[in-house]
Amino acid sequence: MTRPDSNIARLSVHTAWALVLALLAGLGLMTPSARAVGPGGEIEDTGWRRLAAGVHWRHVRLTRPAGLFPASLRVYRFDPAHFDLRVVRFSSPATARQALRGTTRAVAAINANFFNPRGRPLGLVIAQGRVVYRMRRINSGVLWSGRGRVGISHASRFLAQGVRTAIQAWPRLMAGGRPTRGVKNPGRRHRRSLAGVDRAGRLLLAVTEGLTGGLSLREVQTIFDLPGFNVRDLLNLDGGRSTQLSVRVGGHDYHLSGFDSVPVLLAVIKRPASTGWRRGR
> 217-224 vs 13-26: helix axis angle to the nearest 10?
20
What pLDDT is recorded for position 147? 84
Give every CB contact of residue 80 below 8 A, 6+ residues apart in sequence: 148, 149, 150, 201, 202, 203, 276, 277, 278, 279
Q: Which parts of the chain sit beneath pLDDT 70?
A: 1-40, 274-281
HSE, side-chain direction, 13 A CA sphere, residue 65: 2
d(CA 252, CA 100): 13
pTM of the model: 0.85
Domain boundaries, the chain: 74-270
Q: Which of 234, 239, 235 is nearest to 259 (CA)?
A: 239
What pLDDT is recorded for position 64? 85
d(CA 99, CA 111): 10
What pLDDT is recorded for position 38? 53
What pLDDT is recorded for position 77? 98
Q: Which of 51, 113, 81 is nearest to 252 (CA)?
A: 51
Residue 118 amino acid letter: R
Q: Residue 232: helix, strand or coil by DSSP?
A: strand
User: Would you say 77 and 202 are in contact if contact means Cβ atoms under 8 Å apart?
Assistant: yes
d(CA 61, CA 228): 15
Cα first-last separation, the chain: 29
d(CA 197, CA 224): 11
What pLDDT is recorded for position 213? 72
Q: Which of 33, 49, 111 is nearest to 249 (CA)?
A: 49
Q: How far is CA 45 from the centre of its chain?
A: 17
What pLDDT is recorded for position 7? 35
